[in-house]
Amino acid sequence: MDFASNRRLFIQSLTAAISSATSITGHSAKIARNEQCCDIRSAAAAFYRSQPEQPHPSNGDERLFPDGIASFSKALPHNSQGEPLPGSYRRLVKALDNGSFRDLESVLLGGTMKLDNPLAQNAFELEGPDSHQLGMAVPPSFSSAEQAGEMVELYWQAITRDIPFSEWKSNETIAEATGDLTVREDFRGPKIGGRVTAQTLFRIAAPGVLDGPYISQFLLQPVPYGSLPMDQRYRVAAPGRNFGVLYKDWLALQNGLMTMEEIEYERTPRHLVTQRGLTGFVHRDYTFQAFLCAALILLQFGPAALSDTNPYKRSRTQVGFATFGEPQIIDCIARAANASLKAAWFQKWLVHRRIRPEEFAFRVQETSAGRARYPLSGDLAKSAAVGVIQSSTGGLLLPLAYPDGCPVHPSYPAGHAVIAGACSTMLKAFFNEEFEIPGAVTSDADGADLTPCQEALTVAGELNKLASNIAMARNAAGVHWRSDSVEGIRLGEAAALGLLRDIAATGSEPFEGFQVTTFDGRKVTVRAPSPTRGA
**What distance in Å separates the CA atoms of residue 52 and residue 49, rounded to the nearest whole number?**
8
The answer to whether 121 touches 345, Cβ cutoff 8 Å, is yes
Residue range 366-418, pLDDT digits in tens: 999 999 999 999 999 999 999 999 999 999 999 999 999 999 999 999 999 99
Residue 262 located in a structural domain? no
pLDDT, greater one: 535 or 472: 472
189 within some domain = yes
Q: Write down the pLDDT at residue 533.
A: 43
Confidence of residue 19 (pLDDT cuts 50, 70, 90): very low
CA 334, 490, 175, 264 torsion-angle sign: positive
**More confident position, 19 or 299:** 299
Q: Given a cut of 90, is residue 15 above it in pLDDT? A: no
pTM score, whole prediction: 0.93
Nearest in space to 190 (alpha carbons), one of 459, 493, 523, 519: 519
For 294, phi then psi, to 5°, come to -60, -40
| pLDDT band at 528; cut points 50, 70, 90 | confident
Per-residue pLDDT of 151-194, as tens digits, reads 999 999 999 999 999 999 999 999 999 999 999 999 999 999 99
535 pLDDT band, cuts 50/70/90, is very low
Residue 82 lies in a domain: yes
Q: Lowest-pLDDT range, 162-171, 190-199, 468-477, 523-532?
A: 523-532
CATH of the domain at 465: 1.10.606.10
Mean pLDDT, residues 511-526 taken together: 97
Q: Mean pLDDT over residues 333-344, rounded?
A: 98
Confidence of residue 2 (pLDDT cuts 50, 70, 90): low
Residue 28 clears pLDDT 50, i.e. is over it:
no
What per-residue confidence (pLDDT) applies to 422? 98
- Mean pLDDT on 343-365: 98
Task: Render pLDDT for 435-469 as a digit per residue (tens, 0 to 9).
Answer: 999 999 999 999 999 999 999 999 999 999 999 99
pLDDT given at position 260: 83
Q: Is residue 339 in some structural domain?
A: yes
- The confidence score (pLDDT) of residue 104 equals 97
The answer to whether residue 420 is domain-embedded is yes
Does residue 23 register a pLDDT over 70? no
Write down the pLDDT at residue 31: 74
What whole-number distance in Å separates Cα of residue 517 and Cα of residue 428? 8
pLDDT of amino acid 531: 56
Separation of alpha carbons 523 and 510, rounded Å: 21
Structural domain harbouring 76:
3-9+33-214+332-526
Burial of 187 (0-12, 13-18, 19+ CB in 10 A): buried
Amino acid at 55: P
First to last CA, the chain: 32
**Count: domains in the chain:** 1
User: How much is the average pLDDT of 10-35?
Assistant: 53
**Is the Cβ–Cβ distance between 231 and 448 less than 8 Å?**
no
Residue 484 · residue 147 · CB < 8 Å:
no
pLDDT at residue number 14: 43
Is residue 137 in a domain?
A: yes
pLDDT on residue 259: 85
Tell me the pLDDT band of 8, cut-offs 50, 70 and 90.
Answer: low
- Residue 363 CA to residue 380 CA, distance in Å, equals 12
Residue positions counted in the chain: 535
Residue 353, domain member (yes or no)? yes
* Confidence band, pLDDT 50/70/90 cuts, at residue 30: low
| Environment class of 520 (CB within 10 Å of its CB; exposed 0-12, middle 13-18, buried 19+) | exposed
Is residue 153 domain-resident? Answer: yes
Average pLDDT of 272-285?
98
The dihedral built from the CA positions of residue 293, 297, 298 and 300, taken in this order, carries a sign that is: positive
- Give yes or no for residue 17 having a pLDDT over 60: no
pLDDT tens, position by position, 88-118:
999 999 999 999 999 999 999 999 999 999 9
